[in-house]
Each structure stands twice: as C-alpha cells, then as structure tokens.
Amino acid sequence: MKKIKGVKTAIKHTSILIILIVLALILYGITNLGPISEEATTLINNYGTPALFAISIFLDLIPQIISPIVVLVAGLIAGMNIYLAIIATILGSAIGSTIGFTIGKKYMFDAVEILTTKKSTNKLTHLTNKYGKIIVPIAAISPLPYLPVALGAMNFSKRNFIIFGLIPRAISIAAYGYLFTLL
C-alpha cells in the first residue's frame, strides 16, 4: 500500500512539473512571437526541408501561437519545392502532435485523475470524446495550433485523435500550401 502511494505521489509531481513546463512554454511563445518567427524563417532559409520538418515537430509538440502552416509559407516564400515542403510539414506536424498527445495522455491525464474524482474524470473523458469530434477538426484546420497535449490530458481517444485531429491537420496543411502558391 505504501509503495502505491509513493508511485501516485511521483506521478503527481511529474505531471505537475510537465504542466508547469507546458505553461511556461506557452507564455514564452506568446511573449516572443516575433523572435521565434524570425528564427524559424532563418533556419528554413539556411537548412531547407530538414529545418521545416524539425520546426513543424516543435510547433505542434509545444503549445504556442505559431502554427506549422506559418513555417510552410515561409519555406514556400524561400523557394522550397512545394511537394517537399508540404510533406515535411505534414510529417513534422504529425510526429510533434503525436508526441504531444502521448505526453498529455500518459502524464497529464494521470494528474487529472489524481487531482479529481473518478466521476469527474469519467465525465471529462465522455465530454471530450463526444464534443471533440466537432471542435478538434475545426481547430486542426485553422492556422492556429490545436494543442494535442491538452487533448491527451482530457483523455481524447487515440482513434478520435487520428481521425479528427491528425487527418484534418494534414489536409489543411496541404490545402494552405497549395492555396498560397495560387496567390
């Protein structure tokens, strides 16, 4: 019994630390929007597709205001091949989103379970999976980040995350890329 309590305490502390780190990164992203955007553009100009891929991972992994669509446009302005740019952005976004979702599901949901009642946790899970099917695709197709870490923390199902988060996000990245080239 003592060992279980120690594990719960460790999970609680780890979850709270991850929540604090995520909040700090959100605040950093909000307060340093210009420098982050400029640095991303510089990296894309210097390193091309690999930089676009890595930055896309980072932008969907760590919640912030800048979306991978913004760096895709920066890559297209820099003269990158549209197909390579779209593929790199989609793959990076999918990897970053999946890692963020997994972190939220594994650590942050445990914190939700520890900090609330089982009834409240079950209600949150039900509501997230019911209404998330409407809200997540809208967020995923917008040029704003859609916070996969929060989806994991609210126990959105993996299946729903793929169908209503990753797939619409990939389609929107491709659509924004092609629409930008038409302008």
Domain map (residue ranges) of the chain: 2-182
Phi, psi of 156 (to 5 degrees): -65, 135
Long-range contacts, stretch 85-88, CB < 8 angstroms, 24+ apart: 85/49, 85/52, 85/177, 86/173, 86/174, 86/177, 86/178, 88/49, 88/50, 88/52, 88/53, 88/56
* Whether the predicted model's global pTM rises above the 0.75 cut: yes
List helix spans (H) across the chain: 2-31, 33-47, 49-61, 68-77, 82-103, 109-115, 118-141, 148-153, 158-161, 167-182
For residues 67-89, average pLDDT: 90
The Cβ-side half-sphere exposure at 101, using a 13 Å CA radius, reads 23
Residue 89: is its pLDDT beyond 90?
A: yes
Check residues 108 and 93 and name the one with the higher pLDDT. Answer: 93
Closest CA to 57 of 95, 30, 2, 26: 95
- For residue 182, the SS3 value is helix
Percent of the chain with pLDDT over 90: 28
Which whole number is the average pLDDT over 26-38? Answer: 65
What's the CA gap between 70 and 76, in Å, rounded? 10
User: Which residues lie below 8 Å from residue 146, measured CB to CB, with a gap of 6+?
Assistant: 60, 97, 136, 139, 140, 165, 169
Q: For 114-155, what is each residue's pLDDT tens digit?
A: 767 788 888 878 888 888 888 889 888 887 777 888 888 888
Contact 169, 140 (CB under 8 A): yes
Residue type, 101: F
